Amino acid sequence: MPGFDGAMGFELLTATREEVVVEYVIDDRHRQPYGIVHGGVHCAVFETVCSTGAAMDAMSRGQSVVGLENHTSFVRAAREGRVRVVARPITRGRRTQVWEATATDASGRTLATGRVRLLCLDPGSELAGRPVAPAER
């Protein structure tokens, strides 16, 4: 994954209209000064998985998507190991979508949960760029 996602070590495992799965291994770039995963990492990976799924849905209509809201709850601290993040749609409308994501550790314990609301943009709108396929992310 290029850009921010690549810099953070996010690895896209699956991406469909029904589910997006990303994993990463915790290292120093993910930790805050107390040695646990920074809350912003959870927010960022949720934005990634939810936006990817929403974009796959919107592309079928020639649309792109941008995030409007990201609500993330931190449940359990993690210091090391592999994190799996799974996103699934709550609703997929023509104008907005809501996706829900959960980050779990290797033991299946929930680390964080979140919901991302996304705006679907028609081609030619001011914010719309070229839709980016998940393989290009």
Domain CATH for 78: 3.10.129.10
Tokens of 70: 């990201």
Please check whether residue 136 lies inside any domain of the structure: no
Please check whether residue 45 lies inside any domain of the structure: yes
The total number of structural domains that make up the chain? 1
Identify the bridge partners of residue 5 per DSSP, sorted by sequence position.
Answer: none
Tokens of 106: 């290797």
For 118, the domain range is 3-129
Please check whether residue 135 lies inside any domain of the structure: no
Which residues are tagged catalytic? Answer: 47
Please check whether residue 124 lies inside any domain of the structure: yes
pLDDT tens digit sequence for 114-125 = 999 999 999 877
Please check whether residue 104 lies inside any domain of the structure: yes
Please tell me the pTM assigned to this model. 0.89
Neighbours of 63 (CB within 10 A): 20
Tokens of 11: 């690895």
Give the residue carrying structure tokens 């709108």: 125
- Mean pLDDT (the chain) is 92
| Rounded Cα–Cα distance for residues 27 and 17 (Å) | 30
Does the pLDDT of residue 132 top 90, yes or no? no
Q: In which band, very low, low, confident or very high, does the pLDDT at 128 lie, cut at 50, 70 and 90?
A: low
